[in-house]
Amino acid sequence: MTLKYSNTAEKEGKCMTFRLSKLWTGFLTFLLFRQNTSSEILLDLDHYTRKGVLHLINSKRWRFLLRYNFPVFGQLQVKHVGVRATWHGQHICLQTVNKIPALLLVFLQTAFGDDVRRSSKNLTRILEEHIQKFNVLFPEKFKVLSKETLDPKLSKKATALVKKIQKGYVHKK
């Protein structure tokens, strides 16, 4: 791989060229693209049951958001949906292929039905405090051992439903 470094010297016909080994090229590619290739949409849904989560995912709002072509990154490409039961409801994690900017991520979380107080706090963290890790759910935030457990059966159903919706499936009631 050859990288060209150019500045005012390029105008004079002098251009510096760097040759990188395959190892360094792979490492740089990893740093540039691997870390910034996905986002997680984290939702805190209070008072939702397992059945309520599936109804929410199949709602008109979710179908619209999952199919919409956003100007910044295009249509959401969901890899996996993780659902965890909490004492007060459910935590949902939508793992996407898209790299979503922070402000748009907060918007999406609110649009998908996240707790409004949590979304407002995330927005405040971004705008005022400039915190890198603004999007945390409670077990991570307080560094406590959580009683939350991943519900693999519900996660699999939710992932399958999201994939169907993105392919154009419409549930008829």
**CB 135 within 8 Å of CB 42:** yes
Q: Which residues pair with 75 in a beta bridge?
A: 69
Stretch 5-24: mean pLDDT: 46
Q: Using the predicted structure, report yes or no on whether residue 138 has a pLDDT greater than 70.
A: no
**pTM score over 0.85:** no
pLDDT range class, residue 173, cuts 50, 70, 90: low
The three-state secondary structure class of 86 is coil
9: Cβ contacts below 8 Å, ≥ 6 apart: 15, 16
Give the lowest-confidence range in 60-69, 91-100, 142-151.
142-151
Query: How far is Cα 101 from Cα 32, in angstroms, rounded to an integer?
Result: 16
Q: Which residues pair with 89 in a beta bridge?
A: 46
Q: Using the predicted structure, report yes or no on whether residue 159 has a pLDDT greater than 50.
A: yes
Residue with tokens 């699999």: 156
**CB 106 within 8 Å of CB 64:** no
pLDDT of 172 reads 57
Higher pLDDT, 35 or 60: 60
5: Cβ contacts below 8 Å, ≥ 6 apart: 15, 16, 17, 18
Q: Considering the chain, what is the average pLDDT of its residues?
A: 75
**CB 40 within 8 Å of CB 135:** yes
**pLDDT tens per residue, range 45-54:** 989 999 999 9
pLDDT of 129 reads 66
First and final C-alpha spacing in the chain? 56
DSSP-derived secondary structure for 30-80 = IIIIITTS-EEEEEEEET--HHHHHHHHTSHHHHHHHH-EETTTEE--EEE
Sorted by where each begins, the domain ranges of the chain are: 2-33, 38-166
Q: Using the predicted structure, report yes or no on whether residue 40 has a pLDDT greater than 70.
A: yes
Percentage with pLDDT > 90 across the chain: 36
pLDDT range class, residue 97, cuts 50, 70, 90: very high
Q: Using the predicted structure, report yes or no on whether residue 78 has a pLDDT greater than 50.
A: yes
